[in-house]
Chains A and B, each alone.
Chain A
Amino acid sequence: MADYRMDADHPGVAATRGVQNVLGKPLDRIDGVAKVTGTAPYGYERRVEGDIAYGFAITAPAAKGAVRNIDTDAARALPGVIDIIVDDPRIARQAAAFAPAATGNDRIDHWDQVIGVAVAETFEAARAAARAVVVDIAVEEGRYDTLAGRNDASPPPKDSRLQDRTIGDFDGAMADGEITLDQSYSTPNHVHAAMEPHASIARWDDGALTVWSSLQILSNARNILAQAFDLPHDKVRVISPYIGGGFGGKGGIGPETVLAVIAAQKLGRPVKIAMTRQQLFHNVYRRTDTHQRLRLAADAEGRLTALGHDSLLSQGPDGGFMEPVALGSLGLYGAPARRFTHRVVTLDMVMAGAVRAPGEAVGMLALESAMDEMAEKVGLDPIEFRKRNEPEVDPTTGKPFSSRRFIECLETGAERFGWDRREATPGMRREGEWLIGMGVAGAFRINLLVTGKARVQLMPDGTATVETDMTDIGTGTYTVTAQVAGEALGLPVEQVKVALGDTAFPPGSGSGGSFGAAATASSVALACEDIVAELAKRMDADPADMTLKDGHAIAGNRRVPFSELVGSAPIEGLGTIEQGRNAETYSQAAYGAQFAEVAVNAVTGEVRVRRMLGVFDAGRILNYKTAHSQAIGGMIWGIGYALHEDAVLDKRTGQFVNHDLGEYHIPAHADVPPLDVLFLEEPDLHANPVGVKGLGELSISGAGAAVTNAIYNACGVRVRDFPLTLDKIIADLPPV
């Protein structure tokens, strides 16, 4: 049993000393063939035993009110209908994030709220039945406008990561600042829009529940289900071997999970339910709209003397999670006087929750726009301005950085991107109808570590097996896990079998907060320590004097194949990593620099992103190929946040009017230019034993601001109300 708490740096694991030479290599995904041939089974596609029935969620056509009546007669009379369930007290009102959601369907607290389920022999019959249910609601006036509610806003919830914080005399520093900036920026509601909708199959067998689903953190899902259905943990099994994207939206359980479990219990048959794309917009937590005020003061040399970031946000009626908008502002730039606040307005909407990089994804749009504006005011190149404000230690906590190569990211990127070709004055570069500009932004994402456990077995045939309930949501977990175990044990990845996504395995961290790679790599590396120690014993050698390569242990003058050393029973290792005092000792974050070149049409205001570069300091890179994919994925999300994504709320009715993929625009092929990525690799051993830092969220941070700063550089138009659709740009374009 190799357990390690990060109270101090780990003395060193075999996985980082290995000679197999697979760790970090840009290997093809080991689950790649299954994915390109359509043979990878996603949760909803599992052919489960039993006579499966189809469910379809019944939802409310109003955002606030009391349910007067639910008429199910017409629905029940339709052919193929088995049951219409609207009277189960466990029906959840919201998707569950970290605990069972509030229940009950007598009141409606957000548009399209789930109030029951129609179950039928076929999908078509269930859908028709759900739509035939007539829900009568006494509609009440609701609150749908964050700005209108600002006077009734609440301070951060007690358990929120960010509380109000003021350091120094902020107001005085603003008043005395030689150069100051005071600007407001806003971002709209965002949705995850993972390509696979939330979908679940539930089956009961003798009081035990099995759920096949599309979820990110299975032990969390299991806890929620055990609580919600009053079951001991060992009677709940959750299976999600393949997940069609999560982005934070599948952190708990989906509303359909609860419905499937209820229906399967009542019917005594397995039941499968997929949420429709339209239902997802209102039934999975959203990213709140944000209204941010950035205040900066600087001396004549461009050194910041004050930095303030105040945010107004929204949340649903049950409260909870708060988008930590200022996260990036806390640690990125020095300034003796600092101020960070958040206020939350309660709306009658689906709850707000985690979407990729909660905090930085939107906070950095504003901070890095403001830094660009301020650079111009102080008369410095935006990169030079950032360099002048590089702190020695974390400027908010005073703690040393565990690792930080922010300036190097900016400098290396500038060189590679050809930053010296940028005109300092906007509107100077023109190609026909198109105005060309370049922009830069910093990237920052806090680095987290959570508890994760993994089992590794070296089998009698000399191959290895890794088991953990960790998930692969497209992040490459299968592959990097095989690489870590392969490096530690001296095995090619083909000889490492990785089994994920099943609560029958030891509980991993799950996927979220960019902590998955660190927790999984560390727990697998620790589990391998057990095996290495046992192999050394059998080789009569010290682990440090033994080399493992290509399935052989080499020590002294002997080279012995594992199949000989293992014997008839597998050698097992169980590794657990836990966060510890290092989280307090060091300021931990991943850093980067984002560069963009855009063309803005001088006549229409249309924006084309022409190329981008992201340079990232994300600790050790476990696989250059999958890391590159995560990086470009985040940068493209940045393009979406800068230019496209906007869940438009109808402030009269509380519904998103563009609740589908045709109207909520995410970037498509034609929106994406060539993207260049560079990693400045440096293992951060203060962070975890393998030295990984989070990457999946870092890559979105600042990406959108690089685009909008480039737009400003191209045409001189600064839009502070995201996204920068062409109607907002054309309004301020100079006359043609």
Chain B
Amino acid sequence: MQFTINGTVHEADIDVRTSLLDLLREHLGLTGSKKGCDHGQCGACTVLVNGRRINSCLTLAVMHQDDEITTIEGIGTPDELAPLQAAFVKHDGFQCGYCTPGQICSATGMLDEVKKGWPSHVSEALDGQVDLTDTEISERMSGNLCRCSAYPNIVAAIREAAGLAPVEHEVVGEDA
């Protein structure tokens, strides 16, 4: 079988029961995508399929032979960080880092949804431009759990990458 991941074609001979996540992690050595629940409940495995975010643990690899898959490894590299990745480092949008690739892939897809004007549960209107408030960001990112609970910092990072003004509340201490 053939898969196009981050623009590169990979061959893999896999069991039909293999999830897209396990294809990446166990067969192709792309371990940036994480497994937190294998059950569609945490978002750690989020990747982009044809530009849309998806829980890669909840879909079988065989279904994606004609798709363009983007994983965290395709978003940016240590030498060439994507703006979201750099913003996550700057705002400390993580602690243990295990949910982080999923958060970043999810935020990438989310910002694209916003650009297309897709509404969310908290949007004022169902069409037209989305005003990307913190509430919008939080709502749209709620499929990505972070037990270290870096949420406010993740929102700050996404704001920065989206070109919005910094959050007011980022005061860190007496002499910082």
Give chain A's interface residues, CB within 8 Å of chain B. Answer: 24-26, 28-29, 31-42, 45, 47, 80, 122-125, 128, 192-197, 242-247, 274, 276-278, 473-476, 611, 621, 624-630, 632-637, 660-662, 666-670, 672, 674-681
> Are the CB atoms of B94 and A672 closer together than 8 Å?
no
Check A195 against B36 for contact (C-beta < 8 Å).
yes
Residue of A nearest to B99 (CB): A195
Contact B96 A629 (CB under 8 A): no
The distance in angstroms between the C-alpha atoms of A473 and B100, with both chains bound, is 14
Instruction: Give complex CA distance A216, B90 in Å.
Output: 26
Q: Determine the chain B residues whose CB is within 8 A of the CB of A636 once the complex forms.
A: 149, 151
CA distance A661 to B40 in the complex (A): 9
- Chain B interface (Cβ within 8 Å of chain A)? 15, 17-18, 22, 25-26, 29-42, 44, 71-73, 75-78, 81, 85-86, 88-90, 92-101, 104, 134-135, 137-139, 141-155, 167-169, 171-176
Decide if the interface of chain A is mainly helix, strand, loop or mixed: loop
User: Are A38 and B73 in contact, with the CB atoms below 8 A?
Assistant: yes
Q: Which 6 A-B pairs have the closest CB atoms?
A: A38-B32, A244-B98, A474-B96, A35-B97, A474-B95, A636-B149
Residues on the B chain within 8 Å of A621, using CB? 173
Task: Give A80 to B18 CA distance when docked, in angstroms.
Answer: 14
- The docked-state distance in angstroms from the alpha carbon of A632 to that of B147 is 11
Contact between chains at B138 and A277 (CB < 8 Å):
no
| B interface, over-half SS | loop
Q: Which B residues are in CB contact (< 8 Å) with A244?
A: 34, 36, 96-99
Give 7 new A-B contacts, CB below 8 A, not counting A124-B17, A669-B154, A681-B175: A26-B172, A274-B35, A473-B95, A624-B173, A666-B145, A675-B152, A680-B174
Query: Contact at B142–A38, with CB atoms within 8 Å?
Result: no
Bound Cα distance from A264 to B6, whole angstroms: 34
Which of B37, B93, B153 lies at the interface centre, i.e. has the most chain A CB atoms within 10 A of its CB?
B37
Q: Are B147 and A666 in contact (CB under 8 A)?
A: yes
- Which residue of B96, B99, B175 is within 8 Å of A243 (Cβ)? B96
How far apart are the CA atoms of A668 and B81 in the complex, in Å?
A: 26
Contacting pair B78 A39 (CB below 8 A): yes
A271 to chain B, nearest CB (A): 14
Known: A38-B72, A629-B92, A681-B175. A672 touches B97 (CB 8 A): no
The reply to whether A628 and B92 contact each other, CB–CB distance below 8 Å, is yes
Nearest-neighbor residue (CB-CB) of A472 within chain B: B96
Across the interface, do B149 and A37 meet the contact criterion of CB distance under 8 Å?
A: no
Cross-interface CB contact of B171 among A194, A660, A678, A681, cutoff 8 Å: A678
Q: How many angstroms from the CA of A629 to the CA of B156 in the assembled complex?
A: 12
8 intermolecular pairs with C-beta atoms under 8 Å apart: A37-B81, A39-B78, A197-B35, A197-B36, A624-B175, A628-B176, A666-B147, A679-B173
* Pair B15/A195 contact, Cβ less than 8 Å: no
In angstroms, Cα B92 to Cα A629, docked, is 7
Q: Which residues of B contact A277 (CB under 8 A)?
A: 36-39, 41-42
